[in-house]
Every structure is written in C-alpha cells, then in structure tokens.
C-alpha cells in the first residue's frame, strides 16, 4: 500500500515519535509499505511520521548510489527505535530534499560520521558506524523522529527566504507525483 505523504505544516511532523515494541500490529507489512511508498515517491529514505505515524521507524534504500560509494551496494535497511550514540568528524554540506518539503532543496551541513544503535525488522539489535552518504541520510531520517526538518538547520535568513514556499506547501499548492496529506485534512 502506498501512503500519502504528510507535508510541512502538519503538527505530527513536529512531534517526538514514540518507540514501538515487538507486538506492534503488522510490523512487517508496515515496513514493506514504507519501502513501497518511498520508491513510488522517489525518496532515498522515509520516516514513519511522513506517513502520519508518530513512531520511531525509518527506512532507507541508498543502493542506487553505489556507483559513487561502493559500500552502499547493500544499504537497504529498516531502523527501529534507533538511537544515535555519537556524531563525529568534520561537518560537510550536501544538497538535501525531503518528501515532506516538496520543491525545497538546500545545502545542509552535517557531521561526517554517526554511530547508531537500532533494531532491525526482526528486532535484532545492531550497533553500527556509518560515514559519507549513508551517515547523512541516517541523520536526516533520524531527525524526523524528533520532529526536526532539515530547514531547521538553516540560518535564520535562509529560513525567512523560504517562508512563502513553506506556506504554499502547507496549503497543498505544490504538486507532486505522490499524494499529499495536508495539515488539518483527512
């Protein structure tokens, strides 16, 4: 099932999402649907709040970037109840976008490396370190679970310049190939 994407202006995107336990109903199906929604929407990552669920899960598939970084060849994963333990290395900027912020792209500085603990879809615990593009996508998706959007990381001037665009997004005036769930609408 392909979910509509919750866009900017919906308070759900600003909430701190809740951890889930093993009994979460139809978890395997949810993860499958998250991947399906992400592929349909041409995203590299998708966090549960973006499909209207305030729970701590995100999915990433960066395998198409393996040409640039060979270690991404198998990087298709679901992260459940993740916890970033450490962010290290120099900050570097990359142009980011977000399905919840259609047509906005900005250079966002983030630390080079992250160490993250998480559960996979079988609730097996992992403790891994990532760098480069993987670390970037992880940090972007992880932020969604804490109600943070990449525009929050811009300086105040740049944020002000985006104001009218953000208003347009929240009113559903930016069309996308995927369906949008607009603030205050079912």
34 binds Ni ion (CB under 5 A): no
The Cα–Cα gap between 75 and 132 comes to: 12
Please state the closest distance from residue 8 (CB atom) to Ni ion, in A: 10
Q: Is 91 a catalytic residue?
A: no
Please state the closest distance from residue 10 (CB atom) to Ni ion, in A: 13
98 binds Ni ion (CB under 5 A): yes
- Which one of 65-73, 97-105, 125-133, 151-159 is the stretch in contact with Ni ion (CB under 5 A)? 97-105
Task: From residue 182, give the alpha-carbon distance in Å to each of 8, 13, 101, 141, 185.
Answer: 8, 11, 12, 20, 5
The Cα–Cα gap between 8 and 170 comes to: 5
Cβ distance to Ni ion smaller for residue 20 or 98: 98
The distance of Cα 71 from the centroid of its chain, to the nearest Å, equals 20
Q: In what order do the strands lie in the sheet with 76-96?
A: 45-47, 57-61, 76-96, 106-119, 125-131
72 binds Ni ion (CB under 5 A): no
44 binds Ni ion (CB under 5 A): no
Site size with Ni ion, rule: CB under 5 A: 1
Residue of minimal Cβ distance to Ni ion: 98
17 binds Ni ion (CB under 5 A): no
The Cα–Cα gap between 85 and 28 comes to: 26
116 binds Ni ion (CB under 5 A): no
Please state the closest distance from residue 98 (CB atom) to Ni ion, in A: 3
The Cα–Cα gap between 112 and 185 comes to: 38
The Cα–Cα gap between 24 and 106 comes to: 35
Cβ distance to Ni ion smaller for residue 51 or 98: 98
Cβ distance to Ni ion smaller for residue 44 or 72: 44
Nearest alpha carbon to residue 14 among 166, 138, 161: 166
Cβ distance to Ni ion smaller for residue 76 or 127: 76
Q: What 3-state DSSP class applies to 169?
A: helix
Cβ distance to Ni ion smaller for residue 39 or 123: 39
Q: What positions carry a catalytic annotation? A: 141
Residues forming the site for Ni ion (CB under 5 A): 98
């Amino acid at each position: 099932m392909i979910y509509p994407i919750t866009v900017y202006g919906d308070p759900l995107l600003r909430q701190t999402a809740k951890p889930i336990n093993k009994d979460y109903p139809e978890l395997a199906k949810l993860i499958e649907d998250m991947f399906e929604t992400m592929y349909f929407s041409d995203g590299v990552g998708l966090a549960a709040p973006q499909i209207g669920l305030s729970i701590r899960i995100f999915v990433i598939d960066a395998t198409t970037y393996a040409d640039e970084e060979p270690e991404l060849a198998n990087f298709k994963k679901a992260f459940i109840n993740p916890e970033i333990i450490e962010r290290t290395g120099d900050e570097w900027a990359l142009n980011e976008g977000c399905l919840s912020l259609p047509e906005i792209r900005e250079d966002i500085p983030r630390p080079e490396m992250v160490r993250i603990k998480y559960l996979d879809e079988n609730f097996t615990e992992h403790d891994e370190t990532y760098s480069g593009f993987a670390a970037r996508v992880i940090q972007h998706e992880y932020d969604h679970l804490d109600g943070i959007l990449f525009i929050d990381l811009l300086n105040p001037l740049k944020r002000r310049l985006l104001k009218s665009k953000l208003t347009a997004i929240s009113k559903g005036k930016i069309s996308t190939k995927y369906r949008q769930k607009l603030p205050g609408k079912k």
